[in-house]
Amino acid sequence: DDMAGTMPFMAPEVLAAEDTDPYDPAVCDIWSSGVMLLEMLCGTGKLNRMLKWSPSPEPTAARQAELTAFFARDEALVDALRADLGKVPEGLLEMLRGMLRVDQESRLVASEVVRCDWLQLAMESDDE
């Protein structure tokens, strides 16, 4: 009955899962990577602050409902990023939106993440 993972990096489908509910660990890792990128850009605990969670929230199905409600508003992520970064590159926004889709079926997969414009530009500038 133990959940695997650490809040806030646990994917929504893990938070809502019953013992018999299957989920794809690779798809969950995309969510976790999106949260890590968010924290690298905006500081530790960014998702917790965005959702007004405590610094150490309990992983519960209620958290999944809160994530769903938050990300249902298109501008929620944009507003949260702008609060810390000011101007947000469209490619970064597109990539994070894809990585942080609550619906696991529509979340980006790894091969799609590496093809995102923002990441491609970052890799190109690193080569120079």
Query: What would the pLDDT profile of 57-113 be if each residue is shown by its tens digit?
Result: 888 889 999 999 999 998 999 999 999 999 999 999 999 999 999 999 999 999 999
* Closest to 110 (Cα-Cα) out of 10, 33, 36: 33
pLDDT band at 1; cut points 50, 70, 90: very low
**Do 59 and 7 touch, CB atoms closer than 8 A?**
yes
Burial of 50 (0-12, 13-18, 19+ CB in 10 A): buried
DSSP percent split of the chain into helix, strand, coil, nearest 5: 60, 0, 40
Average pLDDT over residues 24-38: 95
CA-CA distances (angstroms) from residue 20 to 13, 14, 16, 17? 12, 11, 11, 8
| The amino acid at 101 | R
**Do 80 and 52 touch, CB atoms closer than 8 A?**
no
> pTM score > 0.95 for this model?
no
pLDDT score, position 20 = 67
